[in-house]
Amino acid sequence: MFIFVSMQNRSIGIFDSGVGGTSIFKEIHQLLPNESLIYLADSANAPYGTKSKEDIIRLSIKNTELLIKMKCKLIVVACNTATTNAISHLRAHYHLPFIGIEPAIKPAALQSQSKSIGILATKGTLSSELFHATTNLYSQNINVVEQTGTGIVELIENGALHSPELKTLLKSYMQPMIDAQIDYLVLGCTHYPYLIPILKTILPENVTIIDSGLAVAKQTEAVLTMHNLKNNASNSPEILFYTNGKTDVITQLTEAKYPVKFLDF
């Protein structure tokens, strides 16, 4: 029997190097509750942030092709490292809309009173051309304290979000920013929103922490609408999580609300 699935009924595909993009999944699901979502966690290859641009592009292609095989109508690259290194390649080679995520330098630079902002991101993001271009554009006359989050993604991937080791690491990464009197901290990696409660215990109260999750969800909605791809029917959407790593970390981060399956991809 042939079952016709309209384009609007198809799923949005979301991928990340691992479990971090679940922070973006949550924003999208909250804003677009009628949409079916398929999430791919490429945890077997995490972290992407220490890999070469070529490797990040190769892994992003692999994830994209699987989501296309799964008949997704749009793909959210829920990873700053993959966006800043690979999204232009993906957009040039595949004919479906892509939404990416980049560190929110612009709002931080525009709103900073102290004219000093911090950015915590992976090596891959901080060294990318796209990141440099955005930073140069918006941070004239602003002191930008960049910090590579070495080791953070690995600890979160291993379920060690609440470990003393992670808190010690964060304290050491925040100290130069505190010394530079930042009033905005930009989280430039989708794993990092899970650090916010810990960061709040380390940073002075006047520091505002920002990430791009809600902006990505809003952009997803705008692009779906523009391409007439939005699912307006409230017909219980399907939520699927696939990981090539351990399933329990995603289960924990998503409060065991959704099925998480192992898939070797």
Closest contact distance (angstroms) between CB of 121 and ligand DGL is 7
Strands (E), the chain: 12-16, 37-41, 74-77, 98-99, 116-121, 143-148, 184-188, 208-210, 239-243, 260-262
CB of 9 or CB of 81, closer to ligand DGL: 81
CB of 10 or CB of 191, closer to ligand DGL: 191
Residue of minimal CB distance from ligand DGL?
A: 49
Closest contact distance (angstroms) between CB of 78 and ligand DGL is 7
Closest contact distance (angstroms) between CB of 104 and ligand DGL is 12
Closest contact distance (angstroms) between CB of 29 and ligand DGL is 17
What are the residues binding ligand DGL (CB under 6 A)?
Answer: 16-18, 20, 46-49, 79-81, 122, 125, 153, 189-191
Q: Please give the distance of CA 179 from its chain centroid, rounded to a whole number.
A: 28
CB of 49 or CB of 245, closer to ligand DGL: 49
Burial of 73 (0-12, 13-18, 19+ CB in 10 A): buried
CB of 14 or CB of 153, closer to ligand DGL: 153
* Annotated catalytic residue within 74, 75, 79, 207: 79
Please tell me the distance from the alpha carbon of residue 75 to that of residue 244, in angstroms, as a whole number.
Answer: 19
* Annotated catalytic residue within 189, 207, 210, 224: 189
Active site residue 79: yes
3-class secondary structure, 248: helix
What distances in angstroms separate CA 263 from CA 17, 75, 254, one per listed residue? 14, 19, 18
CB of 63 or CB of 125, closer to ligand DGL: 125
Closest contact distance (angstroms) between CB of 120 and ligand DGL is 11
- Provide the token pair at 117: 């902002």
Considering only CA atoms, give the Rg of the chain: 18
Active site residue 189: yes
Q: In the chain, how long is the greatest CA-to-CA distance?
A: 66
- Active-site residue set: 79, 189
